Chains A and B, each alone.
Chain A
Amino acid sequence: MTPVWDCMNASATPVRRQLHLPPVAPSPFPYNPGSLLSVQDLTLEALSYILTRATDLENMDPLVRDRILLKRRVALLFYESSTRTRTSFELAAKSLGADTTLVSSLSSSIEKGETLKDTGLTLRALGAEAIILRHNSSGAAWLLEEATHLPVLNAGDGMHEHPTQALLDLRTILEHLRPGIETVTNETMAGVTVSIVGDILHSRVARSNMLLLPRLGARVVLCGPKELLPELAANAGPGIAVERSLEAALRESQVVMMLRIQAERLAGMQLDLEQYKANYQLTGQRLAAQAPSALVLHPGPIIRGLELTAGVADGAQSAILEQVRNGVAIRMAVVERALATDRKGGGA
C-alpha cells in the first residue's frame, strides 16, 4: 500500500463552508427553583422581587420576621474562610427564624476525603432544606445542586461567581444613584459606568457584577494590568469594556469597585506589588482628581495600603460598610426565596 503521507492531497487550502453543527444542549440548571447559583439565573422580575423583599424584611418587626422560616433547617457549608458572607448569611437565616448549622472543611469529614456530593447528601439526610455553599472550586455549587436537588445558594465558587455579593452591590449602588428604585428594568442604570479595578482574573465578585449590571443598562469598565485582566474579558458579555489606565477608568465612572489581589489564587504568578500600587492603587489624590463624586465600593476583605489607601477606605465616598449592611438584607431575601413555597421571585 502507498504510504498515506504520499498519496494524501495536502495542498488544498481551507475553504469556509456553512456547516450545520450539533447544538449546545440547554442548561438543566437550576434543578431547584429556590437555588441561586448565578446572577444569570435571575430574571429582571426576580431581581426586582429580591430587592423589594430585602427592604420589606429589613423594615419588618424582628418578632414577626422570625416566624417566617421558623425552625426550617439551613446548612452553611464553607470550604473557604469567610467573615462577611458567612456571618451575614447566618444572621439573615436566623433573623427569619431558621435553624442554621455550619460545616466547615477544617472541622468535618471533608478533611477525611469525603466528596462534595457525599457531604451534600449527608446534609440533606440530616434534614437540611437548603445549603449555602462557599467553595474554592469554580462550579462547585452546580455540582452540589445536581447531587442534592436542594435549593443551593452560591456563596462564592472559586474564581467564578458570588451572586449575593453582586446583589448587595446593586442594592448599594441603587440607594445612592437611584434612591427609592427597587423595581428594575433594562434601563434602570442607563448612563451609569461602574469600574471594577484590580485582580479581575481571579475575582468571582467581578464576574457576577459584570454579568449583572449591564442587564440593567449599566456599562462595566474592567481595569487592571494584563496579568490580572486578560483582553478576552471584554467578550464575557455585553456592556463590558477593558481599560488599562486607572485614571481613564475613574474619569468616566460614577461607581468604582476596588478588588483585593487574591494571593491565594495567583498560582505562582509573579506580580510586582510596588508597580501595581503605582498604577492601580486608589489614592485620595487620584479619587479627588478623576472622580470626586464617585461611589467607592469594595467587597472586602480590604487590604489597606494595597489596592486602596486607608484614607479612601474611611473617606466620605466609601460605601464599604453600607455594602456589608446590605448583605444581611439581600441574604434574608434570597434565603426566604430558597425555602418559599409560593415563589414569586422564582428563577427563569
Chain B
Amino acid sequence: MTTLLIRGGHLIDPAAGVDGPKDILLKDGRVAEIASPGKLKLQNGSSADEAVTLDATGLTVAPGLIDMHVHLREPGQGYKETIATGTAAAAAGGFTAVAAMPNTNPVNDSPEITRWMQAPERGAAVRVFPIAAATRGSKGDALNDFAALKSAGAVAVTDDGHPILKDGVMRETLAAAARVGLSVIQHAEDTRLTQGASMNLGPVSFKLGLRGMPPEAESGLVERDIRLVTELRDARAHLHVAHTSTAAAIAAVRQARRSGLRVTCEVAPHHFLLTDEHVGMYNTQAKMNPPLRSAADRDAMIEAILDGVVDAIATDHAPHATHEKEVEFENAPNGIIGLETALGLCLRWLHREWKLPLGRVLSLLSAQPAALLNLKGRGTLAVGSFADVVIFDPKAEWTYRAVDTLSKARNTPFDGWTMQGKVRWTISEGRIAYKSS
C-alpha cells in the first residue's frame, strides 16, 4: 500500500487535542507517525523517497469528515444516486465516511442488504456505514434482529422517514438497541399531524396556500422519545434526534441532557442557514423534511450549535433526479444534496461569520459523529487511527456550482453560494479518494 507523507500543513485534531504545524506519515491505511515539521523519523525502513508527498503548505489537515445522515439510494433507486456517485461527492466534500439511511428499495432491514451496501463491488470512494431499519420494512411494527445487523456492519438503527409512532415499539427499539450497543436515530415527525403538508406551518405557508407541518409534530415526538428513554432507566439507551429543526425540539434535547440522559442530536446546514422564507415562490430546491422553519427556529439552531447542545452537523444528503423536482411544489419529493457544500457552508457561516472556533466546527463534522456512531479509530488522526484525512485551504473562497457536482443529482438551494474552505485532498484509509483539479 502506498505510503503518504503530508508535509507543511497545519494539523487540527480536536479529539487528540492537536492544533499546530505537523508532518504526518500515513502507512498501510493507518496514521503511522506525526511529528513537528521536518522531524518525521520515517521508521520501518521507509524513506521519504518511497512515500508520495503531499505539499500541504498553508493548508489545514484534519480528520476526514463524517456525515452520519446520507441517502445513497442504493439498492433500488440508482437513477437518483448510486453508492459510487454519492461517495464520490462525499470525497469531494472532504468526507471519508458516510452513514447511509435504510430507506432504500427494498428497505435495508437485513444483514444481507447491510453487507451488500458495503461490498467492494459498489465502488465506494469512501467508507459507507449502513444504518439499518429498526423495524421490518420500516413499517413500525416488528423489530429487526439488531445483533445480526450489527455484526453485518450496521452502526445504528432508525426507521428514518417513517418515524416509530407506537410508544410500545419505540420503547422496545430503545431497549433492544441498548442491549447490543447501537444507537436509535429518530426522524422526529408525528406524521399524524403532517398529512398533505409540504412546508413549515406558519405565515409563509398560509400566504403560499400550502398545507403546513406544525413545529409540534417534531417537538412532540422528541418529547415522547425522551420520556421513553427516561422510563427505560437503562443508562445504555441512546436516542439520537436526526436533523433537528425546531426551537422546541432543541429545548427538549437541552433539558434531557441536563437530566443526564443519553440524548443527542444533529442539525443540517440548511436548518441553521435558511428559513421558510427561502421557499420563495415555490422553489422545490427548498423543499425537504423536516422543512425549512421560522427565523426563530433557525436562530435556535445556531444558538444550540454555538453553545454545544448540538452534537453533529449532518447533511441529510437526499438526491433526486432533476425531473422529479420540476413539478408542483406539493408533488415534489423532499430533500436536497449536501455533501459538497457542508464544509464550505460551515466554514463560511459557523466559523467566519459566527466565530465558532475551527476546531469546534471540525469536531462537529468528524470527532463527534464518530463518537455517536462508535466508529473506532475514526474522527481523529492519533497514531494508529485510520488514515482518513481531509486537507483543505481554510481561507479559499469559491462559488459552488451545482452542475459541477459529482453526485448524480443537482437538487440544492445553495447553487451559486459562496463557500469558504476548498478541499485539496481527501484521503480514505491511506488512499487518495479525491484531489482537486
Contacts and interface: CB of A to CB of B under 8 A. Distances in A.
Interface of A: 1, 3-5, 8-17, 19-22, 24-25, 27, 29, 37, 115-117, 135, 137-140, 142-143, 147, 157-161, 201, 204, 207, 230, 232-233, 235-237, 267-268
B327 A143 contact: yes
Contact of B264 (A4, A116, A157): A4
Interface string B255-295: 00110001110000000011101101110000000000000
B280 to A, nearest CB: 6
Interface residues of B, number: 54
Contact of B209 (A4, A17, A207): A207
Given A158-B209, A232-B202, 13 more contacts: A1-B371, A3-B262, A17-B303, A19-B302, A22-B349, A115-B323, A138-B282, A139-B328, A142-B281, A143-B329, A159-B210, A161-B209, A207-B207
Contact of B280 (A1, A24, A236): A24
A22 B273 contact: yes
B187 to A, nearest CB: 20
B19 interface: no
Contacts of B280: 24-25, 27
Nearest to B259: A10
B206 to A, nearest CB: 6
A233 B307 CA distance: 34
A212 to B, nearest CB: 13
A137 B328 CA distance: 6
Interface string B198-220: 00001100111111000000000
20 contacts: A1-B371, A4-B264, A5-B311, A11-B258, A12-B308, A17-B303, A19-B353, A22-B349, A27-B280, A27-B281, A138-B208, A138-B329, A142-B281, A158-B330, A160-B208, A204-B209, A235-B203, A236-B206, A267-B196, A268-B195
B304 interface: yes
B192 to A, nearest CB: 11
B395 interface: no
A122 B7 CA distance: 59
B171 to A, nearest CB: 20
Given A5-B257, A12-B308, A267-B195, A139 B329 contact: yes
B254 interface: yes
B415 to A, nearest CB: 10
Which of A10, A116, A142, A143 has most chain B Cβ within 10 Å?
Answer: A10
Interface of B: 15, 195-196, 202-203, 206-211, 238, 254, 257-258, 262-264, 273-275, 277-278, 280-282, 298-300, 302-304, 306-309, 311, 323, 326-331, 349, 353-354, 367-368, 371-372, 379-380, 417
A211 B22 CA distance: 61
Nearest to B416: A25
Contacts of B203: 232, 235-236
Which of A16, A158, A267 has most chain B Cβ within 10 Å?
Answer: A158
A206 to B, nearest CB: 10
A158 B328 CA distance: 10
Contacts, number: 132
Contacts of A17: 302-303, 306, 354
A19 B257 contact: no
A119 B273 CA distance: 35
A14 B300 contact: yes
Nearest to A2: B371
Contact of B257 (A1, A8, A14): A8
A142 B280 CA distance: 11
A140 B300 CA distance: 33
A211 B263 CA distance: 45
Given A4-B371, A8-B257, A22-B274, A137 B331 contact: yes
B209 A8 contact: no
Contacts of A8: 257, 308-309, 311
Contacts of B282: 138-139, 142-143
A291 B274 CA distance: 46
Contacts of B328: 116, 135, 137-140, 143
A159 B209 contact: yes
A191 B119 CA distance: 73
B257 A10 contact: yes
A236 B208 CA distance: 10
B2 to A, nearest CB: 28
Given A22-B274, A116-B328, A138-B330, A4 B195 contact: no
Contacts of B300: 14
A29 B371 contact: no
Which of B281, B353, B371 has most chain A Cβ within 10 Å?
Answer: B281
A19 B299 contact: yes
A233 B206 contact: yes
Contacts of A159: 209-210
Contacts of A15: 303, 307
B288 to A, nearest CB: 16
Contacts of B309: 8, 10, 12
A4 B311 contact: yes
A10 B260 CA distance: 10
